[in-house]
Amino acid sequence: MGIIKLETKDKKRKVTNNRMTNKNLLSGNEAIARGAYEAGVKVGVGYPGTPSTEILENFTKYEDVVTEWSVNEKVAMEVGLGSALAGKRTLVTMKHVGLNVAADPLFTASYIGANAGMVVVVADDPDLHSSQNEQDSRHYARAAKVPMLEPSDSQEAKEFVRYACELSEGFDTPIFLRSVTRISHSKTVVAFEPKLNYEHDKGFEKENIKKHVMIPAFARQRHFVVEDRMKALEEFSNRIEINRIEKGKGEIAFVTAGLCYNYVKEVFPEADIFKIGMVYPLPMRNLLEFCKGYEKVYVVEELDPFIEDQLKARGANNIVGKEILPVTGEYSPELIYTAITGNKFKGMEVGIKPFARPPMLCPGCPHAQTFNAMNKLGLTVSGDIGCYTLGTLPPYSAMHACVDMGASIPFAQGIELAQGSEFKHDVVAVIGDSTFAHSGITGLINAAYNKRRILVIVLDNSTTAMTGMQPNPFNGSTITGEETVVIDYQKLAEAIGIKKDNFRTVTAYKEEIISETIQELLAKKELCLMVVTGPCLIYKRKKEKNNG
């Protein structure tokens, strides 16, 4: 099988150092898109989410590729798997919380494998620049038994996509490429290479049901294959150039990966470093051997002690990591330096305390009137993920819960269930158009089916505003701007059993009408759907600019 082939190929593989011959400044996300293009990736799918969004947006610009914004990450993962099994190199993109949505197919994709390369890019967000949690996606690699690469700058981000395709094919597995916000949104120098014309010899094999149909009898067999593959991958991990030792003066030693590698180099340029490019499975034999050579080895990794725990579990007892480094937030060169040496960096101050600038709805945002109305009515508002999440903060102060995409509708149902006959009919669920398509519809179906009595308000601003104006199934265009169907709210409501009279559409600009409609619908004490329409201001301006 492919492993042998890869081994010889990999011996020759060097991480490019000739950055000065052909230089371009690319963000990590642009570099991943470029890498996919150069690797002959044909299909790109994903769901927008900061910091991952620009990967697919940039990939779409290359010729001879097909792309889509899928309705959610689970769908993207499934489309991607189909595409890879049909013989085309495939890129699937999402942010860390999106990977939770895609986790179901992910765990089985690992059993099924891939024909042509299937690269799943997941972008984590340490310090929660724009996310609801700070989870560490590396755990998914381990849990789903899917290998994971992690680049430390844009050049590596580009190269690792190609390498990931080769590994995916060689080991017949989907593979992760992990980024973090500060890789995705930092620009560093990248050398371009020509596009590879990749053709996989196999298309989708209809006969191969033992590999593609995961009924228990077949899946049981596949699990052995997966375990063998992971063993082979760990062995392989010990022999590849992207997991390497950089010898310094031998006075201080580090194990690190991704962005943190550059931080360590910045403050300890003469350290001995084991730089990990494949964060799962780890090159354990080499790592343990490396660690033996020192009295103390610092493991530097953002978020969880993923590498550290595995090293400790395998007997490395001279590891220092989270005892001195935080599990929350982003790292920085000085944070690492201070943790290790105790010396602080000093900056200036003038004794003036700058006021905070919390993010806010843009002045004139279409969501404003609805939030004002809900605030004045004193409603309990179950909220969702999008610009309108900012309705939580003053001056609106009109949202009281927000868990994940699509959660607003079921959350409100939970309140109703808990309160039973005490339910006061002052609970509304708000959700945006893109989020409604992502995972709100299933919640609404649940409400209709179970005869719940809540009011659901869709705030339709004609776009996915928070992540930068991506189209979605409610506004009539695809990722490339092509015209497409628009889901009809009214027909949808009817189809799932919401009474005709319990459905309303109102414009976003008349607070009075919004307020009256809310009261009228709440008084019905039945499941109601209300759509508030008004395009996002920024989106409107952008559109006018493009047309004019």
The listed partner (another protein, ligand SF4, none) that binds 71, CB under 5 to 8 Å by sort, is: none
Residue in 16, 132, 186, 502 binding another protein, rule: CB under 8 A: 186
The listed partner (another protein, ligand SF4, none) that binds 12, CB under 5 to 8 Å by sort, is: none
Element (H, E) at 298: strand 297-300
| Residue 43 or 368 having the CB closest to another protein | 368
Interface with another protein, residue 548, by CB under 8 A: no
Of 57-65, 192-200, 244-252, 327-335, which part binds another protein (CB under 8 A)? Answer: 327-335
Q: How far, in Å, CA of 251 to CA of 3, rounded? A: 37
> Binding pattern to another protein, positions 461-490, x when CB under 8 A?
-----xx-----------------------
**Rounded to the nearest whole angstrom, what is the least distance from the CB of residue 357 to another protein in the complex?**
5
Q: How far, in Å, CA of 345 to CA of 334, rounded? A: 7
In the complex, the residues that contact ligand SF4 under the rule CB under 6 A are: 361-362, 365, 367, 387, 461, 465, 536-538
The listed partner (another protein, ligand SF4, none) that binds 420, CB under 5 to 8 Å by sort, is: none
Interface with another protein, residue 188, by CB under 8 A: yes
Three-class secondary structure of residue 505 per DSSP:
strand
How are beta strands 66-69 and 43-46 bridged, if at all? parallel
Footprint of another protein on 14-73 (CB under 8 A)? 19-20, 23, 25, 50-51
The listed partner (another protein, ligand SF4, none) that binds 189, CB under 5 to 8 Å by sort, is: another protein
Angle between the N-to-C axes of helices 284-292 and 306-313, in degrees from 0 to 180, rounded to the nearest 10: 80
Conformational region of residue 212, where left means phi above 0, alpha means psi within -120 to 50, and beta covers everything else: alpha
Q: How far apart are the first and last CA of the chain?
A: 57
The listed partner (another protein, ligand SF4, none) that binds 394, CB under 5 to 8 Å by sort, is: another protein
**Rounded to the nearest whole angstrom, what is the least distance from the CB of residue 333 to another protein in the complex?**
5
Whether residue 111 contacts residue 149, with contact meaning beta carbons closer than 8 Å, is answered with no
Residue in 160, 263, 298, 388 binding another protein, rule: CB under 8 A: 263
Interface with another protein, residue 351, by CB under 8 A: yes
| Residue 91 or 387 having the CB closest to ligand SF4 | 387
Interface with another protein, residue 540, by CB under 8 A: no
Residue in 16, 132, 238, 332 binding another protein, rule: CB under 8 A: 332
How are beta strands 297-300 and 319-320 bridged, if at all? parallel
* 68-106: b (≥16 Cβ within 10 Å) or e: bbbbbbbbbbbbbbbbbbbbbbbbbbbbbbbbbbbeebb
Whether residue 431 contacts residue 456, with contact meaning beta carbons closer than 8 Å, is answered with yes
Q: How far, in Å, CA of 436 to CA of 417, rounded? A: 22
**Rounded to the nearest whole angstrom, what is the least distance from the CB of residue 69 to ligand SF4 in the complex?**
18
**Rounded to the nearest whole angstrom, what is the least distance from the CB of residue 262 to another protein in the complex?**
4
Of 192-200, 351-359, 369-377, 477-485, which part binds another protein (CB under 8 A)? Answer: 351-359
Residue in 360, 417, 495, 523 binding another protein, rule: CB under 8 A: 360
**Rounded to the nearest whole angstrom, what is the least distance from the CB of residue 322 to ligand SF4 in the complex?**
37
Whether residue 89 contacts residue 83, with contact meaning beta carbons closer than 8 Å, is answered with no
Of 6, 5, 24, the residue nearest 164 (C-alpha): 6
Q: How far, in Å, CA of 365 to CA of 141, rounded? A: 40
The listed partner (ligand SF4, another protein, none) that binds 300, CB under 5 to 8 Å by sort, is: none
Interface with another protein, residue 544, by CB under 8 A: no
CA distances 489 to 388, 426, 430, 441, 461, Å, are 20, 23, 15, 10, 14
Largest CA distance in the chain: 77
